[in-house]
Amino acid sequence: MSATAPTAEINPYELLELKLECSEQEIRTAYRQTSRKVHPDRNRNDPDAARKFHELTQAYELLLDPLRRLALDAKLRVKAARDARFKTYDTKRKNMVSELEERERAFKKAKMDQERDEASRWADTEKIKDEGRRMREERETEIRRREREAEASRNPPVDDDSEAPTLDPLDTTIHLKFKLSAHPELTNREALAKLLAPFGAIDTESIVISCKPPKKSPEKPPKYGMALVPFKQIGDAFGAVCASGRADRGLDGVEVGWVGGKEPQILGWLKKMGKLSAQPLPPKPNSSPLPPHSSTPGSSQLPQTAPAASASPFSSFPATFPDLPSFSSETKAAAPGVDYEALTLMRLRQAERERLEREILEQEAAEGA
């Protein structure tokens, strides 16, 4: 039920034609009878029908609320007593009382008008303050923007592409997959190291080999073998990946790729910088090695600071970074070349082996699924 009280001039008892001593049942009965008469659906031509029905409903809800009815009854009794006393007054006293009540009403009205004017002025003042704050913030924002533009014009931004990406210890590790029927000898570290030795130095002790039977038929012998082989230089690993599956490199039936199936970020960075072709081709065995600064169409040979005696003849990746002007001194100090030998010697062999074994297990699970 709504808690809104009817207008002060309206007497709920008069609307329902009831007395102060009426019962709750009498209130309900009177409401049903009166509401039928004033309902808007039965008085479509009466523009005040909706208002009358609303006032009737408000009066009905008020009289059914014991606390609100008690307050109303007390107010009506006080008013009745005052009216009774007023009738006993003589004409002069009645005029005095009427004049006093009129002054009181005028005072209340003036006070309400004053409060309303003060509220309106306060709202206008707050609006002006908000507008001033907004304009000040806009000016400060514009000043900061101009300062940033001036600072940018004095100090042009450095191209982030010129910075070498972070080096990862696994960037020199490759993944091998081969059929055991075609390569039954590749079941130990020495055989794998011998197979890949032409490409460069290998960390033989960290090689991980896995030869497991199929999950659906565990009783059958394993068909495939997999291994993770860490090189000591990323250029050697790059050459081995380029020679994947090539019989002239001794890798017939051997799939060679990067760990995780994603090439190291340094390779993508060199390709983006235009220092390494997107599809490098290793030289054939009968071709003569090229001078350090020569290049042929289709190759990915990079300019180097000095000839690299340890560079693999099967890799077109440089043994060291080119001395680019865009390199900062900090980058040169942290990564003077693409030689990962120092990083490989620093990592713990046992931790590296566990990491490689986990990589193989994850790949086997993915292939089994």
**What is the chain's mean pLDDT, rounded?**
75
Backbone φ and ψ for 227, nearest 5 degrees, come out as -155, 150
Instruction: Kindly indicate the confidence band of residue 350, based on its pLDDT and cuts at 50, 70 and 90.
Output: low
pLDDT tens, residue by residue, 157-177: 555 556 667 777 788 888 888
pLDDT tens, residue by residue, 235-256: 888 888 888 888 888 888 898 9
Token duo for residue 250:
């001794």
Cβ neighbours, 10 Å, residue 229: 27
Token duo for residue 218:
């565990």
pLDDT tens, residue by residue, 16-53: 888 888 999 999 999 999 988 888 888 888 888 899 89
Contacts of 294 (CB under 8 A, 6+ apart): 301
Dmax (CA) for the chain in angstroms is 138
List, in sequence order, the alpha helices (H) in 17-90.
24-38, 49-64, 66-88
Q: Which residue's structure tokens are 């291994």? A: 227
pLDDT tens, residue by residue, 127-149: 999 999 999 999 999 999 999 99
pTM to 2 decimal places: 0.39
Cα 59 to Cα 256: distance, rounded to the nearest angstrom: 90
| Phi/psi-derived region of residue 166, left when phi > 0, alpha when psi is between -120 and 50, beta in every other case | beta
Cα separations in angstroms, 243 against 99, 123, 194, 269, 316: 114, 80, 15, 21, 11
Strand partners, 175: 228, 257
pLDDT at 360 over 90: no
* 3 state SS of 302: coil
pLDDT tens, residue by residue, 92-115: 777 887 888 888 889 999 999 999
Contacts of 111 (CB under 8 A, 6+ apart): none
Strand partners, 179: 224
Containing H/E element for 134? helix 91-154
Virtual torsion, Cα 84, 87, 88, 89, nearest 10 deg: 130
Cα 291 to Cα 41: distance, rounded to the nearest angstrom: 104
Residue type, 239: G
Instruction: Kindly indicate the confidence band of residue 289, based on its pLDDT and cuts at 50, 70 and 90.
Output: very low
Contact 203, 344 (CB under 8 A): yes
Q: How many CA atoms lie within 13 A of 89 on its CB side?
A: 14
Fold of the 169-282+307-368 domain: Alpha-Beta Plaits (3.30.70)
Token duo for residue 183:
């390569």
* 3 state SS of 173: strand
Contacts of 276 (CB under 8 A, 6+ apart): 267, 270, 300, 302, 317
- What's the rounded mean pLDDT across residues 194-223? 83
| Phi/psi-derived region of residue 82, left when phi > 0, alpha when psi is between -120 and 50, beta in every other case | alpha
Domain residue spans of the chain: 12-88, 169-282+307-368
Dump the DSSP string for 203-244: -GGG-EEE----SS-TTSPP-EEEEEEEBSBHHHHHHHHHTT
pLDDT tens, residue by residue, 186-207: 888 888 888 898 988 998 888 8
Structure confidence at residue 114 (pLDDT) = 92
Cα 36 to Cα 53: distance, rounded to the nearest angstrom: 9
* Nearest one of 337, 343, 176 to 270, comparing CA atoms: 337
Q: How many CA atoms lie within 13 A of 247 on its CB side?
A: 1
pLDDT at 79 over 90: no
Look up residue 281 and give its DSSP letter: -
Containing H/E element for 337? none
Structure confidence at residue 159 (pLDDT) = 54
Domain 12-88 has CATH 3.40.50.300: no
pLDDT tens, residue by residue, 256-274: 998 878 888 888 777 777 6
Contacts of 60 (CB under 8 A, 6+ apart): 12, 16, 27, 31
